Chain A
Amino acid sequence: MALTQPMASSGAQQLELPENVVVSRLDELANWCRKNSLWPMPFATACCGIELMATGAAKHDLARFGAEVFRFSPRQCDLMIVAGRVVMKMLPVLQRIWQQMHEPKWCISMGACASTGGVFDTYAVVQGIDRFIPVDMYVPGCPPRPEQLIQAIIDLQDKIQREGTITGREFNTRQRQDRKRALVESPLPLTLDASRNPNIQRQLSGSVTTARP
């Protein structure tokens, strides 16, 4: 290779590289690969799912942004798009699918219902999936227009490029944030299975309140 010759002559001299060689940091290279090959997993439950289909269909064509390979198996995906409201019966399924996805993985919460519960402030609807799984990008709208979803994917690509590390250190910082935001509203009379939720159990047994002086 041509690389070896100038190296020997002088330390201060600029490297002379042939035109088809690019020098980069490994992190950035890995991120560049990751951001341009996002494979979404459409967790489409309701109306937003139809707009998700519209985003992938002919007119808006998500393929232009390198994220059109929808795979329905969580094992093959690295981007979960939660499109639509998630209700009590569905949440365990959502969590299980999220856990089945391999790292590195990201999550887009598409639409008002997935992000906050939207107009459905009712007994059955989870008021924002970010209470129970980590979310990277929120898309407002009810449902968001396909352009908005495309923008969210572009933003996510930007985020991956800027923050991503090959060892996954960016997830460590987010992990600290998530602990703070983990939310259980009230230890009201619980009719579901309380034993599954360690937070509630702790509150119910009084260990949280009594431990403080």
Chain B
Amino acid sequence: MSIAPAEFDAPPERRSEDYLWTLNFGPQHPATHTTLRLVLKLEGERVVDAMPEMGYLHSGFEKIGEHLTFNQYVTVTDRMNYISPMANNVAWHHAVEKLLGIELTPRCTFIRTIIAELARISDHLLCNGAVGLDTGAFTFFLYAFYQREVIYDIFETLCGARFTNSYTRVGGVSQDMTPLVIEKIRSFLKTFPKTLDDMERLLNRNRIFVDRTKGVGVLTKAEAINRGATGPVARASGVTRDLRRDEPYLAYADLDFQVCCASAGDCYARYLVRMQEMRESLKIVEQALEKLPGGPINVGIDQRTALPTKKQVYSTIEGTISHFELSMSNRGFEVPCEESYAAIEAPNGELGFYIVGDGEDAAYRARCRPPSVLHFAMFPHLIRGHTLSDIVAVLGSLNIIAAELDR
């Protein structure tokens, strides 16, 4: 690129415009992981502006939510944030139960807490593994993915599906935790901290990784709040907001854990927050297993939401009636003509559902509040002034999942 001397005398805004070039990045690109698209305006290697575009995976989730019943729709939420499907299951039925006014059994709340935290670990593993992969640390990714397989195995033992679990039901869960599952979780709790140590030793002070992530994509606290960041992205910028602590749901009020925060707001801080959150999740799972109460996993027959057990169906008249009514297409649950919003602290941030009920057992409107949309929207703000190679680090650390982004 040569610049004529006369160009230097031109007004700076005109001069720079002449030498900008546009680069299309995505929607099919290894570093976007899924289907994101960026149109970049570059001056040499420096990013002057970025225009993110989404919708390459918009499949009409919210429209389907108006046609499937509350129990059927859980299969669709699996496919929403597909690197932690269990967390979506919990979020969906948490919102449904708030609308219907159902109080869960103690055992169910603890089981859901355990699986939500395991989902958080698997989500953070993949996210940090992908950041490592994109910045050149392939071994780190293999360590992370191997541990994900262990969690897949736990889920498979628990509910029969390794990946898209569809585990929760209105008023309960589909399967009880067997001793084998508890044993597998315990052995995971024993082995995982060692792997986590190894992973931290691989990257925490790795010169290449630190140089590529420290000071890159800085999000200040004020901007994080103004742009609606939640979850690890907000906490890495110093926003001490965690729904598990601030609005305790499920069994979090009974458990002792720390909210992990950082103040730097860069990619490295987001990486550290996620690593630390995995340790906290381990603590939560350990305590929840200790305190796991006995009793039924589903709410009673009188609430008329969860299917009764076979024993109840065949030996009691209430069970038979309840089973019959719940199976009838025109009976089902009693849904108030009301609207409510409930959210959980998903691995990615605040994942909530705004559900409008109209008396039917399918939602009239099932709005999902996805954390990824707001995180992706702030991407141009984070990348301006950085180089082209920083894009993968920033994108990876925001953990944008296209299916949740587009729905």
Contacts and interface: CB of A to CB of B under 8 A. Distances in A.
B402 A50 contact: no
Given A51-B163, A93-B27, A143-B163, A87 B34 contact: no
A58 B35 CA distance: 25
Interface string A113-138: 00000011011110000000000000
Contacts of A124: 58-60
A47 interface: yes
B78 to A, nearest CB: 8
Interface string B46-70: 0000000001111110011000000
A47 B82 contact: yes
Contact of B79 (A47, A72, A97): A47
A123 B34 contact: no
A119 B59 CA distance: 10
B190 interface: no
A204 interface: no
A97 B28 contact: yes
A121 B167 CA distance: 23
B59 A120 contact: yes
A143 B402 contact: no
Contacts of A145: 162
Interface stretch (B11-19, B141-149, B351-359): B141-149
A49 B60 CA distance: 19
B83 interface: yes
Interface in A68-85: 72, 84-85
A164 B380 CA distance: 48
Given A85-B57, A87-B56, A89-B58, A50 B163 contact: yes
Interface stretch (A2-10, A38-46, A154-162): A38-46
B313 interface: no
B61 to A, nearest CB: 8
Nearest to A47: B82
Interface string B363-407: 000000000000000000000000000000000000000110010
A59 B146 contact: yes
**Category for how many chain A residues contact B:** 20 to 34
Contacts of A57: 141-142, 145-146, 149
B402 A46 contact: yes
A58 B148 CA distance: 11
A144 B364 CA distance: 32
A152 interface: no
A141 to B, nearest CB: 10
Contacts of B179: none
Given A46-B403, A51-B163, A93 B56 contact: yes
A54 interface: yes
Contact of B35 (A50, A90, A125, A142): A90
A200 interface: no
B75 interface: yes
A90 B27 contact: yes
A101 interface: no
A125 B63 CA distance: 12
B56 A72 contact: no
B181 to A, nearest CB: 19
Contact of B145 (A43, A49, A54, A125): A54
A91 B130 CA distance: 26
7 contacts: A43-B28, A45-B35, A49-B33, A57-B141, A58-B142, A72-B30, A124-B60
Interface of A: 43-47, 49-51, 53-54, 57-59, 72, 84-85, 87, 89-90, 93, 97, 119-120, 122-125, 142-143, 145
Interface of B: 27-30, 33-35, 55-60, 63-64, 75-76, 78-79, 82-83, 126, 141-142, 145-146, 148-149, 152, 162-164, 402-403, 406
Closest 7 CB pairs of A and B: A122-B60, A47-B82, A57-B145, A72-B30, A120-B59, A90-B56, A59-B149
